[in-house]
A and B are shown apart, each in its own frame.
Chain A
Amino acid sequence: MDELVIARSMFGTTMAFHIIFATLGVGIPLMILISEIVYQRTNDLDYQIMAKRWTKAFAVLLGVGIPTGTIAGVQLSLLWPGFMEVIGRVMALPFQIEIYAFFIEALFMSIYVYAANRIAPWMRIVSLVLVCVGGLASAVLITNVHAFEGTPAGFEMINGEIRNVEPWKAFFNPSFFVTAGHVALSAYVVGSFTIASVSAFKMLRNPFGSRVYKFHQKSLMICLAVGGVFALLTALNGHESAQKLHEYQPEKLAAAEGLFETQDHAPLSIGGFTDRENQEVKWGIEVPWALSFLAGNSFDTEVIGLNDFPEEYWPPLFVHTLFNAMVGIGSLLIVIALGAFAWKKWLKKDRFPKWMMWVFVAGGPLSILAIEFGWIFACTGRQPWTIYRILSTEDSVTTTGNLAVLFGLFITIYAILAVSVVLVLLYYFKRNPPEKDIQKAEGKQKDIPLST
């Protein structure tokens, strides 16, 4: 295989693996914070038990999230030295500030976990807030580098040399807020829907109305509430992301929608596969005029098609499918959350039917898939550029050969980590079922230390 293809696959694999833990690492702390606050307001011990159990899961996930993140950060310079040279000169700020965010998260995470029984309740909340802020800030900042790759700003390339660098202008590049917002909001979607999956599954496994069933039901309901709100916000913000593409990376939007001819009153194709030969989307559903409206809030908006660009600048056309899958999942998650509340509040039913429970179980994995699809769409849809119209992927890659062996080693390590993290979580929660925590808590009605 071509070394460039291996480098791309290797980096993509690393990111695809890291992002699972990173996203949960941003999303779960918010849920822990919410349940700590609910506990301190209602005094319902169940919420404190939830916070404790989720913290344990979070700590285990961190054990994979941090080393894989370290791999991601270092691999960026090892595999893409050409890219990092430009980033170092122009866009070092987000990486630099991100370090402080990591420190805040690491310091206060350790404090929350290992010193919980020695600090005051309000300090527990402060520590958690700082963990959330640290996680959120690191996601926002790293995403900023990605935003810069799509909408570079703050420097000029004159005869292959970087001139007139304005670091803060690069930092506040045109798509920073929209893109970072999308990543942050979607991380909260993933955090809440993933926990909801587990709760729903546990409810299916326990008799209706039992103590443990009720415990999981409370957890399911706050997760669906939080998840539903953020799913809605993610979709609204995603719409804005698409409008940014229309403005700054029109060929990416054209590839996402499978649009070949430039036109106003452009139709939106949902589903199907883009066919390069016949220049059409096969088996898709076409909604007339909708794309123009989505891109510019008016049916007259002219949307540029792929044929206006030289073919070597086209992104891979399968991104249409990835994009649709992400949007489809996003819409489905909104429906799931609304459905659950309609069932409870309007129909006033006290239990969900089995099929609905299984839909909740599917929500978590689907939301993670949406993250994966979204990122692969965003990164692959940028091809052939690492920095849009400035630096090509080919010019960024390392000149060292023999990547295949390393790729094999990294895949092996990810496989080992993936299997062992699942086994460890299963082991721990089998050993420590909620019954045990509930009994313990009801036994002493006192603060339970969070640390091991």
Chain B
Amino acid sequence: MTQSLIAIIILWGFVFIYAVMATMDFGAGFWSMFYINNEKTKATNIANRYLSPTWEVTNTFIVALVVAVYSMFPGAAYSLGTVLLVPGSLILLLLAIRSAFLVFSHVADDYYKPLTYITGITGILIPGLIISVLPISHGSYIDFDNGQELDLGKLFTSPHEFAFFGFAVASTLFLSSLLLADYSKTSKEYEAFKVYRRDAMIIGPISVLMAFLIMWTMKSEATWLYDRMLEDRNLLLISLLGFVIAGAALFLPTNKEGMKGMPRVAVIAVICQYVIASYVYGKAHLPYIIYPEVTVQSGFTDPDSFRAVFFTYIAGFIILFPGFVYFWSLFMNDKRYLRQKED
């Protein structure tokens, strides 16, 4: 395997991890707003219990992602930086408001509600904007003759972009409601569990519909990618199977408290679905980072630099892994935290 291929696989891994963590993060923020007036179900409490300790860690992944792009593909960083100036800045602006107000909402009790509304709404827009990087990388909205300029008008009137945007928002809500259903089950919050299970069942089909919409619009907007993705149609079908399994898992056995379904199985099945689908997408996208100008090889860094960076990944992983495990055991797995009476 060439070094540049290893590098792009690492990058893909980071993107995937961030995508999952970010859907949980922004989704939880949205649900905590959505159920703010519904005190009986504790749905907001559950969302906050997940969100409070994790948002910082999730945020660090964005930075890790950006750093990974320019340390492994500095050649691509030039073009990406240039075309993403406007969408990137919009994401940053929303993110600044979202993160700051999230913290403020837990400190200034009297203003909890308005602050939570701002947090929830800005938060749910962010995944939609972040995913726009993908249609932009398909190349048809960039004017390469004119010093790599992004045609914003064309981008934001294209159905392809809207399909991606809708997909990001729908999957954010879908995956986060599944996770929160699982989290409420572990916390033994029956009412909240029912709410999130119902939400997942409503939004799941919408997110699959959006995925089809992406493929359908891709046919005309990025034909090269569409054709290549269909070469792996079997994998795409398997990925769809993951969705069916998730759906089935939500109807499965009832435990003694009457909580229907096995949300953890559903979460895992959906994540598998996304892994496979994004593998097919990524494979079809290769070797282009931005079609058709920037490829994995043309953007790749100096081999010595790559070796040094790769070494720090290994060292960093070894150092950080125990920290992540400890964090997990304190916030995802500690009954004292999960089943606290009051938030």
Residues of chain A touching chain B, judged by Cβ–Cβ distance below 8 Å, are: 56, 59-60, 62-64, 66-71, 73-75, 77-82, 84-90, 92-93, 95-100, 102-104, 106-111, 113-115, 118-119, 162, 165-168, 398-400, 402, 406, 409-410, 413, 416-417, 420-421, 423-424, 427-428, 431, 452
Contact = CB atoms under 8 A, between A and B. Distances in A.
Contacts of B63: 69-70, 73-74, 99, 102
Nearest to A162: B302
Contacts of A74: 62-63, 66, 88, 92
A85 B312 contact: no
A127 to B, nearest CB: 10
Lowest 3 A-B CB distances belong to which pairs?
A88-B74, A63-B103, A92-B71
B147 A60 contact: no
Contact of B100 (A90, A111, A420): A420
B56 A106 contact: yes
B102 interface: yes
A183 B76 CA distance: 32
A100 B321 CA distance: 11
6 contacts: A71-B96, A80-B81, A93-B308, A97-B316, A107-B326, A406-B85
Contacts of B72: 88, 92
A84 B304 CA distance: 17
Given A87-B70, A96-B67, A96-B313, 9 more contacts: A63-B103, A67-B98, A75-B89, A165-B305, A167-B308, A398-B81, A406-B85, A421-B104, A427-B108
A66 B99 contact: yes
The residue in B66, B89, B319 that gathers the most chain A C-beta atoms within 10 A of its C-beta is B89
Given A88-B73, A90-B305, A420 B104 contact: yes
Contacts of A420: 100-101, 104
Interface in B30-66: 52-54, 56-57, 59-60, 62-64, 66
Contacts of A409: 89, 93
Contacts of A80: 81
Contact of A167 (B56, B98, B106, B304): B304
Which range holds the interface residue count of chain B?
35 or more
B320 A100 contact: yes
A66 B59 contact: yes
A227 B134 CA distance: 49
Given A70-B59, A88-B70, A97 B75 contact: no
Contact of A417 (B85, B100, B150, B327): B100
Tell me what chain A mostly uses at the interface: helix, strand, loop, or mixed.
helix
A62 B89 contact: no
The residue in B79, B88, B149 that gathers the most chain A C-beta atoms within 10 A of its C-beta is B88
B21 interface: no
Given A78-B88, A428-B107, A63 B99 contact: yes
B77 A88 contact: yes
B77 A81 contact: yes
B292 interface: no
Given A62-B103, A70-B92, A420-B100, A85 B78 contact: yes
Nearest to B70: A88
A107 B101 CA distance: 20
Given A81-B82, A114-B331, A406-B86, A60 B309 contact: no
A114 B334 CA distance: 12
Interface in B84-123: 84-86, 88-89, 92-93, 95-104, 106-110
Given A70-B63, A421-B100, A100 B319 contact: yes
B210 to A, nearest CB: 27
Contacts of A68: 96
The residue in B75, B79, B99, B305 that gathers the most chain A C-beta atoms within 10 A of its C-beta is B305
Nearest to B58: A106
Given A70-B95, A92-B70, A165 B89 contact: no
Contacts of B70: 77, 84-85, 87-88, 92, 95
A424 B79 CA distance: 40
B305 A104 contact: no
A302 B54 CA distance: 56
